[in-house]
Amino acid sequence: MPTEALIRTDAVTVEYPVRGSAFRRQMLRAVDCVSLPIAAGETLALVGESGSGKSTLGRVLLGSQTPLEGVVVWRGHPVTGLRGREWREFRREVQVVFQDTGAALNPRRHVIDSVALPLRWNRGLRSGEAAERAAELLEQVGLPARDFARRLPHALSGGQRQRVGIARALASDPALVVADEPVSALDVSVRAQVLRVLQAAQRARGLAMLFITHDLGVVRAIADRVAVMQSGRIVEDGPTDAVLDFPRHPYTRALMAATPALPSHIRTT
């Protein structure tokens, strides 16, 4: 792990109010003093059960969730100190691929327009240039523009919508992609296809990626490193093979025991 991470959290804590008594507001600690680095070009899988704090930590890294304590450091600078052009550049360089592709895409916007929008807003391309580049991105994720450019989201399968989401994230030329449960809603064969698209984009562009999942079965196919999260804390962190083959923490071992074996056709290299 390089000394200077591309992005890291330093002792980040996030709390949410929960329903309590009429006289006292109770707080839920969703992320509890988490320090986690991600190196340039690295794919880090953040795994744990639903409610463990994974997505909350992802929102913190995206800059859309302000921690109660601690700090996010991007390229050596605290994110809270970014202003103006520096903040806009951070938002361009850190992109997200959501789990819910239906909600993430405008139902009235054609596929090519959804991909072209960040090219215009984040990259400053003119409409014609943005459309041309959007068509290239669709080709890269396996959706030929001649067949898919003028389709609306409802005319796509779940896997195809997820590929559009990946193309849209790549349009901003990011350095880091936060992929939040990007394949959990897909069937096994489509899951393999989307994983290969993500992996190819990561390798071709040298992207860093935070891959958030509750399914350890896909981790070996995609990740260089694994961090295991339980009740808001990181309980284990290390190289993928070491964590999956020789888990140290009882929670990691329990997750492994509950995870079905990954079909061989998903085991990409």
Three-state DSSP state, 209: strand
pLDDT of residue 103: 78
Q: H/E/C letters for each residue in 45-85?
A: EEECCCCCCHHHHHHHHHCCCCCCEEEEEECCEEHHHCCHH
**pLDDT 10s digits, 50-75:** 999 999 999 999 999 999 999 999 99
Residue 86 included in any domain: yes
Total number of domains in the chain: 1
Among residues 262, 257, 178, 174, the alpha carbon closest in space to that of 217 is found at 262
pLDDT band at 77 (very low <50, low <70, confident <90, very high): very high
Residue 186 included in any domain: yes
Q: How far apart are CA 4 and CA 25, in angstroms?
A: 39
pLDDT of residue 187: 84
Asked whether the CA dihedral 74, 76, 80, 81 is positive or negative, the reply is negative
Q: Which domain holds residue 211?
A: 7-266
Q: How far apart are CA 61 and CA 57, in angstroms?
A: 6
pTM for this predicted structure: 0.90
Residue 101 included in any domain: yes
Residue 143 included in any domain: yes
Q: Mean pLDDT, the chain, as a whole number?
A: 91
**pLDDT, average across residues 19-40:** 86
pLDDT of residue 137: 97
Residue 176 pLDDT greater than 80, yes or no: yes
**pLDDT, average across residues 161-182:** 95
Residue 1 included in any domain: no
Residue 2 included in any domain: no
pLDDT band at 269 (very low <50, low <70, confident <90, very high): very low
Asked whether the CA dihedral 133, 136, 142, 148 is positive or negative, the reply is positive
Residue type, 147: D
Residue 136 included in any domain: yes
pLDDT of residue 1: 42
Domain containing 50 — which CATH number?
Answer: 3.40.50.300
pLDDT of residue 3: 52
pLDDT band at 12 (very low <50, low <70, confident <90, very high): very high
Residue 86 pLDDT greater than 90, yes or no: yes
pLDDT band at 262 (very low <50, low <70, confident <90, very high): low
Residue 208 included in any domain: yes
Residue 266 pLDDT greater than 70, yes or no: no
pLDDT of residue 115: 97
pLDDT of residue 192: 87
Please provide residue 184's backbone torsions phi and psi, each rounded to the nearest 5 degrees: -70, -25
Q: How far apart are CA 203 and CA 180, in angstroms?
A: 19
**pLDDT, average across residues 219-226:** 93
Q: How far apart are CA 240 and CA 227, in angstroms?
A: 9
Residue 117 pLDDT greater than 70, yes or no: yes
- 30 DSSP assignment: E
Torsion angle defined by CA atoms of residues 164, 126, 40 and 185, in that order, rounded to the nearest 10 degrees:
-10
Q: What percent of the chain has pLDDT over 90?
A: 78
pLDDT of residue 261: 61
pLDDT of residue 133: 97
pLDDT of residue 2: 44
Residue 222 pLDDT greater than 80, yes or no: yes
